[in-house]
Amino acid sequence: MLSGGDHENKEEANDNAHADLPIAVLATQPGGPCVAVAHDTELWLLDSSDASLIQLEDSSTSAPIRTVAFDPSGKLLLTGGDDKTVRVWQLDSRRLLHRWPVPKKISAASFSADGSFAFFADKFGDVHVAATAADATAGPKPLLGHFCSIITDLAASPDGKYIISTDRDSKIRVSLLPLQPLQGAHEIQSYCLGHTSFVTSCVFVTTPDVTLLASASGDGTVRLWDYVSGQLLDTCQVPVPLASVLAASTKQVKAAEEEVAVELAAQEASGAASLESAPSSAAEMDRGDVAASGSGYESDKEDNEEEEAGPRQRAAEMASAAALALAASPSGRYLATLVEGQDAVTILEVDAAACKLALRQCITIHDLALPTAVQFDREGRVWAIGRPRSGESGALKMGVASLNETGTEFESAAEDAVPEALRAALGAIVNGGQASQAGAVGQVNPQLRKRVYTEAETDFRKRNRRDIKAASAAAAISTQSDL
């Protein structure tokens, strides 16, 4: 039996293991030659037309950058991250237009279809909006919320009518975007429900005839949606991880399955309701927006405590390989996604007319291992960033792939397709967090997965929950007052 001190030490170690380490992110300029890359506190803006790095005004940050985004016109660039600050630059002048402080760490960002508004979400479940005009003086305003669930991605529809927000609790929410977003988006158009684990990314698939929504998830699927109605159109299972990756997690999966058997047997013996069907709080009675567990971030710990995952969910999340990121080609014909534990970029083909997805190919880009971000550029080339298979273990590596001359498949470009200036900057990074994230769960934000606790740890956490302590203290004061 562990003592209280031992539990606290193990709890601290568990928190450290779930710390959100820096992960490289990237964005490509719509209709333009620029590629934005961020890792930790560094931001690089590459002009691929002349292989030069562009210097932006006041681009330094004090904490890791988590998201980068261009507006649809390609004239604005936004970053946000753990320093609780959103920055917007005007690219033609390279001038910093806005610097907005926000209450929590930023997890996702996007722009409205006309670029007039910037949307950014935090790990407490709130989405904020701010006007991007150079003379705009009003700061960010609340737009909508996911009730304490980490928001993983944002996307505004090309027609300007909707904003899509995805979260840790497997939901894709489609909200009507009002003409005056600063007044809030209070009307929900639909929910796209079907994923069984956290949603990692969403992207619009736009063709001359139709616009659909695609999403990627920790359940290992990419799904296609009619986002207006919320109808699921098709599901594609991403390739499973390599055998070596699966073997690394075999013990965890077996332990979780054994725990499932023990817990379910105990429930049947006692006649208790299913752990997963019984709500743990009054807030969970409303299944439309389930109360989520705390994000685990330092700034959020005062407000939230982690909920215990159901046994079946814990086993399933361990056993599945997450689809990590998602990008759509300018033509809407292809999707590119990354699979947890895989070095390859997975290409899916979209038949928009038939509303179908098909696995096209898995391509390994030159010397690129465990990529964490992928995007298409204006020419339909695939850009991906991860770490090199060889060389400095903490360095970053970027690769490019493009369709061959016959247009039948994607091929990895030579290493010099990435300009030397950017290769040198990325290669100079050491101990940047990538090496320590290698493995089956290395590319996934640990905050998105439910933590696994033993029965003793769970009991310790329940006894030390802040709300229970506060209630006990209040009851004691009330008792003393009555006396």
Question: For residue 371, what pLDDT is reported?
Answer: 92
Nearest to 70 by CA among 397, 375, 396, 426: 375
What confidence score (pLDDT) does residue 286 get? 36
- Model confidence pLDDT, tens digit, residues 34-72: 999 999 899 999 998 888 899 999 888 999 999 999 999
pLDDT at 269: 58
| Strand pairing report for 52-54 and 65-70 | unpaired
Which residue, 65, 91, 55, 54, is CA-closest to 76?
91
Determine the pLDDT at residue 265: 58
**Residues belonging to the chain:** 483
pTM above 0.95, yes or no: no
CB 81 within 8 A of CB 108: no
CB atoms within 10 A of CB 357: 22
Q: Which of 145, 445, 96 is nearest to 296 (CA)?
A: 445
By CB atoms closer than 10 A (0-12, 13-18, 19+), residue 315 is: buried
- What gap in Å lies between CA 436 and CA 421, rounded to an integer? 26
Rounded CA gap, 217 and 237, in Å? 10
- Specify which residues 117 forms β-bridges with: 131
Which is it for the CA torsion 459, 461, 465, 469, positive or negative?
A: positive
- Give the residue from 167, 173, 199 showing the smallest Cα distance to 188: 173
């506060």: which residue's tokens? 470
CATH for 22-242+320-437 is: 2.130.10.10
What are the structural domain ranges in the chain?
Answer: 22-242+320-437, 245-317+450-482
d(CA 41, CA 60) in angstroms, rounded, equals: 7
Class of residue 424 by CB neighbours under 10 A (exposed 0-12, middle 13-18, buried 19+): exposed
- Report the chain's C-alpha Rg in angstroms: 23
Compute CA distances 441 → 255, 336, 363, 445, whole Å.
17, 20, 21, 8
The single-letter DSSP state of residue 250 is H
**pLDDT tens-digit series, residues 268-280:** 555 444 334 333 3
Using 50 as the pLDDT threshold, list the residues of the chain that sit under it: 1-2, 4, 7-18, 243-253, 271-318, 431-442
Q: Are 35 and 76 in contact (CB under 8 A)?
A: no
CB 327, CB 222: distance < 8 Å:
no
CB 324 within 8 A of CB 444: yes
How far out from the chain centre does Cα 40 lie? 16
pLDDT (0 to 100) of residue 225 = 98
C-alpha–C-alpha distance, residues 97 and 86, integer Å: 11
